[in-house]
Amino acid sequence: MRHRDGLFDAEPVERKQPRARPTVVYKRFRAFDPHQVLLLPPSLDDWLPEDHLARFVADLVDQALDLAPILSDYTEKRGYPPYDPRLMVRLLIYGYTTGVRSSRAIERKCADDVAFRFLAADQTPDFRSIARFRRRHLDALADLFLQSLHLAQKLGVVKMGRVALDGTKLEANASRHKAMSYGRLVDKEEPIEAEIAELETKTAALLADAEAVDAAEDERLGIDGKELDLPAELDRREKRLARLQAARAQIEAEAADRARRHAEDKERRRQARTGSSDEQVVTDAGEQAAGRARPKPKAQANFTDPDSRIMKNSDGAYIQAYNAQTVVDDAHQIVTAADVTTNASDALDYTTMLDQSAQNTGRHPKQALVDAGYCSETNLEAATERQLACGTDTFMATGRLRHDEQVPPAPRGRIPKNATLKERMARKLRTKPGRKAYSRRKAIVEPVFGQIMTCQNGRQLLLRGEEGARGEWRLLAACHNLRKIFRHTGTAGIPALAG
């Protein structure tokens, strides 16, 4: 049936009214009033629990660490007073321990993080002040690593019975796409030199015609006089050529140094076989090899961070990086030596790192565990000499097994008299004591790398240059040690550290 307005009639439908929610709540909640004004200002000391890491850092900086190298740097009495160095060291140690390393991130945390506000006493230093302080006192901050190690020794958590040495690749603060190969550097120099010569000719002509009429200038440079700024363009190309030449010289110097070391090691091994010893002959062999050395065409230099190198990381990817070397004590995973090199290979750092560990702790370890990356004829000889001189028994992997390869059985019988050093080391690792000792390597040093990369956000460096990378890596190692000390003693252990 159609309605008189031309619409169909709709059957009346009874709508259900929604059940009204009760306006009265019978559950009793805790008092909550965001606009409540406090009668007295809150105490920062009440904001954190007694066993919080921030309290440990605050007491450590105030009572146990020696900040004299930083404080002695402030001799100028004029100017606006800077932030207290204790405040800045507190923020940097806590930030590098908890993974907040960026100066901008630390600035934000000082405003919205209770622990940072506690450490800064509710002050908010800007990121420029934090970054300048870190750069200015980087050497003193890196020396906190030694202080952290000595504090750990004072607590008795460094045993030096067994240590593990390993390296990891740290991403540099530079892109590998900003690098150029030696071949391209050589090819680029000649065209840029030609462009510079052409611009110099044009600039000389402009200077000679400087007093010409405006019409002549308009013909050369255009109506607005801004077609080409020859002096600025010349300066830009000269700076670019200087960067290319510096990168080329760096690659050539590295090739010469590499050839020198190889020739000197080869000559020393030859003299050892013949029973002779003449350092002048070794030096001459190295100099001759360095003079003949020529870089490979694919050898690269980076313009953003010239000290960094392209290296292959554990994932098989090529990155712009530094090689971070670390020696770790077995007892509580305390780092006893930390350094940064520009060599992708670990083999050059075996002796250096173990010597650094012994110097830092004042003791040589009974055992040193190193992987196959350190295996070389030179290091095998050094390991033999180290055992005789220092009593350190080295377990050095001589190769890597494939996933489907079975572990060789334990050797039987006497060691062959004609066995090489590498064969003797491989036989040593196949014995039951050798396998048992070497199996501890991955449980000593690998977790330290994992903790620094994840808990401390230390996968990529913030500072550029080899010295900047070394300082930041040692600061990361210092904060790792302090975290271990905190886990061992808590905030109650500060009096023992300060005593």
Tens digit of pLDDT for each residue in 461-483? 999 999 999 999 999 999 999 99
- 187-191, 280-284, 368-372: which has the highest mean pLDDT? 368-372
**pLDDT of 420 above 50:** yes
Q: Name the DSSP letter for residue 347.
A: G
What does the pLDDT read at residue 415? Answer: 79
Percentage of the chain beyond pLDDT 90 is 48
**pLDDT of 122 above 80:** yes
Q: Which CA distances in Å does 340 have to 15, 172, 248, 353, 495?
A: 78, 11, 23, 10, 33
Rounded to two decimals, the pTM is: 0.79
Among the listed ranges 147-156, 175-184, 307-316, 359-368, which one has the minimum average pLDDT value? 175-184
Model confidence band, residue 197 (pLDDT cutoffs 50, 70, 90): low
**pLDDT of 182 above 60:** no
Model confidence band, residue 60 (pLDDT cutoffs 50, 70, 90): very high
Helix (H) / strand (E) element for 486: namely helix 466-489
What does the pLDDT read at residue 238? Answer: 64
- Name the 3-class secondary structure at 297: coil
What does the pLDDT read at residue 1? Answer: 46
More confident residue, 182 or 397: 397
φ, ψ for residue 325 (rounded to 5)?
Answer: -100, 140
Q: What is the pLDDT of residues 86-99, one digit of tens each?
A: 999 999 999 999 99
Q: What is the pLDDT of residues 158-170, one digit of tens each?
A: 999 999 999 999 9
What does the pLDDT read at residue 386? Answer: 94
Residue 339 in tokens: 């350094």
**pLDDT of 380 above 70:** yes
What does the pLDDT read at residue 159? Answer: 94
Model confidence band, residue 361 (pLDDT cutoffs 50, 70, 90): very high
Model confidence band, residue 172 (pLDDT cutoffs 50, 70, 90): very high
Q: Which CA distances in Å does 258 have to 238, 264, 479?
A: 30, 10, 34
* Closest residue by Cα to residue 449 from 459, 464, 460, 435: 459
Average pLDDT rounded to a whole number, residues 378-387: 93
Average pLDDT rounded to a whole number, residues 141-149: 96
Residue with tokens 């050395």: 293
